[in-house]
Structure 1
Amino acid sequence: MDKVPFKHCPSNKKNCVSTIDLTSYHRISPIPIEESSERVKEKIHVALAHFDQTEVKEETPKYIHAVFSTKFLKFKDDVEFYIDEYNHLLHIRSASRLGYYDFKANRKRIDRFKHLFHSL
């Protein structure tokens, strides 16, 4: 079984969502995948290109770390993707670096990402 390389969301903050968290506020569903890791990574990159002020900071064969910057105040949010080949899932974590509440910005971002990913 693959080990997801990112942390759980902090339990005392509401500025993070993740596929590995079990609490209802932080929990999002992973994306089932049937394509090769290479194709999944290609779809991730294409979907990310639809977002403004986004930069991939790290990439390995099964992992991508992107940083999203907010338009006006330039706050940075980290979004991580992990391709779990064993379970055929794309795991995701999206978290704000600052603050305690994000007005569901991370959840909305991932919902939009999922829509884009599925359309490819």
Structure 2
Amino acid sequence: MVFAGKRPNNLGISNGKLASCPNSPNCVSSHSPDASHQIAPLTFTSTPEEAITNLKQIIESLPRTKIITESKDYLYAEFKSALLGFVDDVEFYLDRSANVIHVRSASRLGQSDLGVNRKRIETIRANFK
């Protein structure tokens, strides 16, 4: 698809953190120090294994979603928009010591995402138990 763009090469965990957001407003991250990109991580009271399994089930239940990379503490999924097939890269990093799952959701192309990335994480949070 013409609007899919190329998969970024800066994804994954580096020094215990997800990649920084670019300056554009189409990204949110629980590791971001600035308010415009900042979003709270997901919190859990279950075991880390149950938390990541629950998260995976939620992701797989969402439309136009494909899990690309999965390990015991990390999930990376691509979300496609319905209309033009724009792709957002969404990452989840399980921090066992803090009982949180850090999140990063970023559009591959364009400037504004009209709040789609933040809304997606909040939808996942609402379904996450």
Q: What TM-score results when the alignment is normalised by the length of structure 2? A: 0.84
CA distance in 2, matches of 1:116, 1:34: 14
Q: Alignment partner of 2:56: what SS?
A: helix
Counterpart among 100, 104, 110 of residue 111 in structure 2:
100
Q: Aligned Cα RMSD in Å?
A: 1.2
Among 76, 80, 87, the alignment partner of 1:76 is: 87
Match of 1:7 in 2: 19
**Superimposed CA distance per residue, residues 57-115 of structure 1 (whole angstroms, 9 cap, x where no aligned partner):** 00111000000011121111011001000111110000000011100000011110100
Tell me, what secondary structure is at the counterpart of 2:67?
Answer: strand
Equivalent in the alignment of 1:91: 102
Matched, 1:42 2:53: yes
Residue identity over aligned pairs, in percent, reads 35
Q: Which residue of 1 aligns with 2:28?
A: 17
Cα distance in 2 for partners of 1:86, 1:115 equals: 23
Question: How far apart are the structure 2 equivalents of 1:61 and 1:68?
Answer: 21
Give the unaligned 5+ runs of structure 2: 1-14
For the 8 Å contact 2:48–2:99, the answer to whether it is kept is no
Tell me how many residue pairs correspond in the alignment: 115
Counterpart CA distance in 2 for 1:116 and 1:95 is 20
Distance in 2 separating the partners of 1:71 and 1:37: 32
2:37 is matched with which residue? 26
Unaligned runs of 5+ in 1: none
Aligned counterpart in structure 2 of residue 114 of structure 1, from 96, 102, 125: 125
